[in-house]
Amino acid sequence: MNVRNAARDETGQVSVRLGADRLCKSYGSIEANRDISITVAPGEIHAIVGENGAGKSTLMRMLQGIEQPDSGRIIVDDQVVDLTGPQRAFTLGIGMVHQEFMLAPDLTLLENLVLGDEPVIRALGPASTIDWRSALESGERLARETAAHVDWSRTARNTPVHIQQFVEIIRLLRRGTRILILDEPTAVLAPQQVDDLFALLKKLRDGGTTILFISHKLREVMALADQVTVIRRGEVQYTSPVAETDPDTIAGHMVGGQGVLPESAADAKSRQAVVGDVVLEVSGLTTPIVEKSHPLHGVGFELRKGEIIGLAGVSGNGQNELVECLVGLRPVGGGVVSFAGQDITHMSNQQRRARGMGYISADRRHEGLALEASVEANVIAGSQRKPPISNGGFFNRRAMRRAAEERLSFIGVRHGGLDNAAGDLSGGNQQRLVFAREIASRPSLLIVSQPTRGVDLVGIAAIHGILSDFRRNGGSVLLISEELDEILALSDRILVMADGAIVGETSASDADIGHIGRMMVIQGAGDG
Tell me the pairing of strands 445-449 and 120-122.
unpaired
For residue 367, being part of any structural domain is answered with no
C-alpha 524/C-alpha 181 separation (Å) is 30
Phi and psi angles of residue 157, each rounded to the nearest 5 degrees, phi first: -60, -35
Q: What is the mean pLDDT of residues 311-323?
A: 89
Q: Is the pTM of this model over 0.85?
A: no
**Contact call for residues 97 and 180 (beta carbons, < 8 A):** yes
Could you tell me if 81 and 217 lie in one domain?
yes
On whether both 351 and 482 belong to a single domain, the answer is yes
> What are the counts of helices (DSSP H) followed by strands (DSSP E) for the chain?
17, 24
Q: In the listed set 141, 174, 207, which residue is the last one of a domain according to the structure? A: 174
pLDDT > 90 fraction of the chain, expressed in percent and rounded? 57
CA angle 47, 479, 258 (to 5 degrees): 45
Residues 297 and 203 in one domain: no
Q: How many domains does the chain have?
A: 4
Domain membership flag for residue 226: yes
Residue 338 lies in a domain: yes
195 and 59 housed in the same domain: yes
**Considering 127, 151, 174, which residue would you say is the last residue of a domain?**
174
Band of pLDDT at residue 476, cut at 50, 70 and 90: very high
Beta bridge partners of residue 73, listed in sequence order: 21
CATH number, domain containing residue 14: 3.40.50.300
Q: Given a cut of 50, is residue 407 above it in pLDDT?
A: yes
Bridge-based pairing state of the strands 445-449 and 357-360: parallel
Question: Where are the extended beta strands (E) located within 78-217?
Answer: 79-81, 94-97, 120-122, 128-130, 179-183, 210-214
With cut-offs at 50, 70 and 90, classify the pLDDT of residue 211: very high
Q: 443 preceded by cis ω (within 30°)?
A: no
Residue 412 has pLDDT above 80, yes or no: yes
Higher per-residue pLDDT: 482 or 7: 482
- Verify that 398 and 336 share a domain, yes or no: no
Regarding whether 18 and 83 lie in a shared domain, the answer is yes
CA-based torsion, 85, 89, 90, 95: positive or negative: negative
Same domain, 123 and 185: no
Specify the pLDDT at position 127.
60
* DSSP type of residue 367: I
Q: Is the pLDDT of residue 157 over 90?
A: no
**Residue 99 lies inside a defined structural domain of this protein:** no
Q: Which pLDDT value is given to residue 217?
A: 82
Segment 382-393 mean pLDDT: 84
pLDDT of 528 > 70? The answer is: no
Quote the domain boundaries for residue 84. Answer: 3-93+178-255
Give the start-end residues of each E strand in 150-277.
179-183, 210-214, 227-232, 235-241
Q: What pLDDT was estimated at residue 265?
A: 43
Same domain, 165 and 301: no
Average pLDDT (349-367) is 92
Per-residue confidence band for 48, with pLDDT thresholds at 50, 70 and 90: very high
| 417 shares its domain with 389 | yes
Beta bridge partners, 81, equal 74
Write the pLDDT tens digit of every residue in 262-279: 554 445 444 556 788 999
Q: Out of 174, 199, 223, pick the residue that ends a domain.
A: 174
Is residue 364 in a domain? no
Is the confidence at residue 80, as pLDDT, over 50?
A: yes
In a domain, 363, yes or no: no
Contacts 24+ apart (CB under 8 A), 396-403: 400/376, 401/376, 403/440
Helix pair angle (191-206, 161-174), 10° resolution: 10
Contact criterion met (CB below 8 Å) for 68 and 153: no
In a domain, 129, yes or no: yes
- Shared-domain flag, residues 413 and 467: no
- Over range 376-385, report the average pLDDT: 91
- In this predicted structure, the answer to whether residue 151 has a pLDDT above a threshold of 60 is yes
The one-letter amino acid code at 172 reads: L
SS3 for 410-461, per residue?
HCCCCCCCCCCEHHHCCHHHHHHHHHHHHHHCCCCEEEEECCCCCCCHHHHH
Q: Which of 309, 348, 305 lies closest to 325, judged by CA?
A: 348
| 247 within some domain | yes
Q: Are residues 389 and 482 in the same domain?
A: no
pLDDT confidence bin for 291, thresholds 50/70/90: low
Question: Within this chain, do residues 298 and 342 fall inside the same structural domain, yes or no?
Answer: yes
Q: Can you spell out the DSSP letters for 154-171?
A: SBGGGS-HHHHHHHHHHH
